[in-house]
Amino acid sequence: MAESTQPGTPATTPTSWGWCAWHQSYARGVRLIRAIEQGSGPGASLFACGPCRKTHNLTPLADLPL
């Protein structure tokens, strides 16, 4: 049987690059931790990478119970 020359299927888990607010640098796999809303201004969003989430015991906003 001939071997396939096609690359394997990509991982189904999406990854993202972004700014980690905890270690102050770009990182892979950041997730939204806090959304700071401000009535008269733009507000802010704080993202954290996997190692910072584990070190600081942070729970992503999407994983919090309603």
**pLDDT tens, residue by residue, 39-52:** 888 889 999 999 99
- pLDDT value of residue 15: 72
Q: Has residue 52 been placed in a domain?
A: yes
> Is 63 domain-assigned?
no
Structure tokens at 34: 């806090």
Rg (CA), the chain: 17
Q: Is residue 1 part of a domain?
A: no
* Per-residue pLDDT, 66: 83
Give the separation between CA 43 and CA 36, rounded to whole angstroms: 5
Q: What is the 3-state secondary structure (H, E, C) of 19-60?
A: EECCCCEEEECCEEEEEECCCCCCCEEEEECHHHHHHCCCCC
pLDDT computed for residue 1 by the predictor: 54
Q: Residue 23 is part of which domain span? A: 17-58
pTM: 0.72
Contact call for residues 23 and 47 (beta carbons, < 8 A) = no
- Residues 6-54: pLDDT tens digits? 555 555 566 789 999 999 999 999 999 999 998 888 889 999 999 999 9
| 24 inside domain | yes
